[in-house]
Structure 1
Amino acid sequence: MKYRFAKPDGYDLRSSLRCLSMAGKDPTRLRLPRSGVRKVCWIGEELCRLTIGAGQSEIVVQVEGAELSESEVRLMLALDDQPDVPLEVEDPLRQLSPRIRRFRLGRVPWIYEAVVQTILHQRVSGSEAGHNWYRLCRRWGESWDGLFSVPSPKRLLAISSADFASCGIEQKRMLPIREAAFRIRPYLSPETAPEEIGETMLACRGIGVWTEQYVRGHFLGDADAVPLGDYALPKTVSYFFEQNPKGTDEDMLRLLEPYRGNRFRILNWLEWAGAGPPRRGARLPHGSML
């Protein structure tokens, strides 16, 4: 199945497809020329391969192995997202590149995979979480022409504690991953609200507000999600708006309040712009993965 869409003015494929994954070295994904991507994922109980590319005026998506509706593909590409945020003349966000301020937030239907990836980033660095993800998928996922999927929920529930440990995943992250495999359905319909899936996530042991809000913002395109408890985000926000490199969650909420409805979008802008304070010394877990 192949879909073709007109490319909106100012559309950036690379940033719009950030919702497809978190890890830099991701065995479920292959980067293609001109910001294209090939991705292997579970759509319900069916393995699916997506190939996405764009030219000057058109975006092309090929779907193999499973079915995705046109509306689901549009959500994934963020074609209907409204990236424009009204800003006052003196708003410091106007300092950011107009290109960054046009970046969009997409939504993927593979919610179970999104939750597993995010749990892996709890309490560890992004680099370590990426290595854990790579090993987990390579050892226990399904292969499709050199790419490897996340293990299916059934497979994850059958993996032993020793198997998780061999991937560098300790018990504190293994337990919520198993819980998610049991409770969270692999496929998310377009009609499901982020709030609904958020309630399901919070009902799982070991999943708190940071994981729930991060999944909603990064993977579900919830423009107002705010991941509290992040190491880097409060410092980034406070440094950008007040030149304070030691911001707290309370500072972040206060500074983002004028942008309620688009707070995750603003966080995304700042992260793309590299607007945080200069890094000194080791990075503490868990850092920002936006």
Structure 2
Amino acid sequence: MRERGWRPEGPLDVARTLLPHRRGSGDPTWQQAADGAIWRTSRTPAGPGTIRVSAHPREGLVLGRAFGPGAEWLLETLPQLLGAADPLADFRALMDRLGGGGHALIRELAGRYGDLRVGRTSRVFEALVPAVLEQKVVGREARRAWRWLLSRYGDPAPGPGPAGMRICPAPEVWRAIPSWDWHRAGVEGVRAKTIINAARHAEKFEAAGSAEADRLMRSLPGIGVWTSAETRQRAHGDPDAVSVGDYHIPSLVGWSLTGDRTDDAGMLELLAPYRGHRHRIVRLLELGGTRPPARGPRMPARDYRSF
């Protein structure tokens, strides 16, 4: 076990910062303990690792305890995971420039959630796989597939973390998953092929910055704007990566800022004044915006599994 204390500049909500990396309440790579500490696993460049992150606000301290071959890497990158590289000062300057030209709700939310940070995991492929699993399906279907595949192919997490935690499989393991296990996980051929193909290029993804990773990922079949944005938000902490093509976000943005539903084009127009921080604005609206009333039945989760 290795340990590191880190003092962030200004207030920091650890759970809120790390929440985007959780894929459902049963995510085997992310769990929250009864005392509020966050357990998270990763396959780092140095090998598998588990980190426990706990906040100690009275001391202004965040404590990281890490286990496994990747422990040192996880502790070294802990500040970036918690948003140390997030250009918050640039966002505040943007809000000052906009002044009364910015939307009142966004000004209010920016003040209310001033501790909101966009962190980065620096592990692109680990963020890409669940993003592909979430393509064009309801969330519970994607989360079920993620849990099943990690339970079957992920390594047990090192350290004394919550039972059942797993490490995301290495790219070569994803390439070797047979078709019948994709089927059992509830993943049809298109998404399975997209992940298998992406695994062949994983090394290039990890070496690229956000803009280059966007180009590389979108050059592959099955990876478009939405998947790239969802990946870069988490892996690179890109505060401007907008999830164009999302089923819910345009309605959230439109309803929160105008009282009307909108589409992707309308969403981008509303977010245009905040270029450079459009993903951050969406996160603020997810915390304090409003959604239009639901209409019609919910889309059911499909089940491709055989028993």
State TM-score, norm by structure 1: 0.89
Which position in structure 2 is the counterpart of 1:63?
A: 66
Q: Is the 8 A contact 2:110 2:284 kept in 1?
A: no
Which position in structure 2 is the counterpart of 1:128?
A: 141
Q: Is the 8 A contact 1:202 1:209 kept in 2?
A: yes
Q: Structure 2 residue aligned with 1:263, among 255, 259, 278?
A: 278
Which position in structure 2 is the counterpart of 1:224?
A: 240
Q: Which runs of 5+ in 2 are unaligned?
A: 302-307
In the alignment, the residues of structure 2 paired with residue 258 and residue 265 of structure 1 have an alpha-carbon distance, to the nearest angstrom, of 13
1:285: Cα distance to partner?
9.3
Worse-matched range after superposition: 202-211 or 271-280:
271-280
Q: Is the 8 A contact 1:38 1:52 kept in 2?
A: yes
Which position in structure 1 is the counterpart of 2:218?
A: 202
Q: Is the 8 A contact 1:43 1:187 kept in 2?
A: no
Which position in structure 1 is the counterpart of 2:41?
A: 40
Matched, 1:95 2:98: no
Cα RMSD over matched residues? 2.3
Distance 1:232 1:19, change over 3 A: closer
In the alignment, the residues of structure 2 paired with residue 97 and residue 208 of structure 1 have an alpha-carbon distance, to the nearest angstrom, of 30
Q: Could you list the per-position Cα deviations for residues 221-250 of structure 1 after superposition, in whole angstroms to 9, with x for gaps in the alignment?
A: 1111111111111111111111112x0111
Provide the secondary structure at the position in 2 that maps to 1:35. coil
In the alignment, the residues of structure 1 paired with residue 227 and residue 179 of structure 2 have an alpha-carbon distance, to the nearest angstrom, of 22
In the alignment, the residues of structure 1 paired with residue 241 and residue 198 of structure 2 have an alpha-carbon distance, to the nearest angstrom, of 20
Distance 1:285 1:177, change over 3 A: farther
Distance 1:132 1:184, change over 3 A: same
Q: Is the 8 A contact 1:107 1:221 kept in 2?
A: yes
Matched, 1:177 2:195: yes
Provide the secondary structure at the position in 2 that maps to 1:49. strand
Name the one with the larger helix percent. 2
Q: Is the 8 A contact 2:65 2:75 kept in 1?
A: no
State TM-score, norm by structure 2: 0.85
Which position in structure 2 is the counterpart of 1:250?
A: 265
1:70: Cα distance to partner?
5.9
Matched, 1:139 2:173: no
Worse-matched range after superposition: 144-153 or 230-239:
144-153
In the alignment, the residues of structure 2 paired with residue 24 and residue 280 of structure 1 have an alpha-carbon distance, to the nearest angstrom, of 26
In the alignment, the residues of structure 2 paired with residue 242 and residue 283 of structure 1 have an alpha-carbon distance, to the nearest angstrom, of 24
Q: Could you list the per-position Cα deviations for residues 188-229 of structure 1 after superposition, in whole angstroms to 9, with x for gaps in the alignment?
A: 36xx42112112211222111110012112332111111111
Distance 1:196 1:252, change over 3 A: same
Provide the secondary structure at the position in 1 that maps to 2:111. coil
Amino acid across the alignment from 1:139: R
Provide the secondary structure at the position in 2 that maps to 1:98. helix
In the alignment, the residues of structure 2 paired with residue 283 and residue 185 of structure 1 have an alpha-carbon distance, to the nearest angstrom, of 39
Matched, 1:150 2:168: yes
In the alignment, the residues of structure 2 paired with residue 148 and residue 186 of structure 1 have an alpha-carbon distance, to the nearest angstrom, of 24
Amino acid across the alignment from 2:63: V
Which structure has the greater CA radius of gyration? Answer: 2
Amino acid across the alignment from 2:177: I
Among all aligned residue pairs of Structure 1 and Structure 2, give the percentage whose two residues are the same amino acid.
29
1:45: Cα distance to partner?
6.3
Matched pairs, number: 283
Worse-matched range after superposition: 203-212 or 141-150:
141-150
In the alignment, the residues of structure 2 paired with residue 111 and residue 265 of structure 1 have an alpha-carbon distance, to the nearest angstrom, of 19
Which position in structure 2 is the counterpart of 1:104?
A: 117
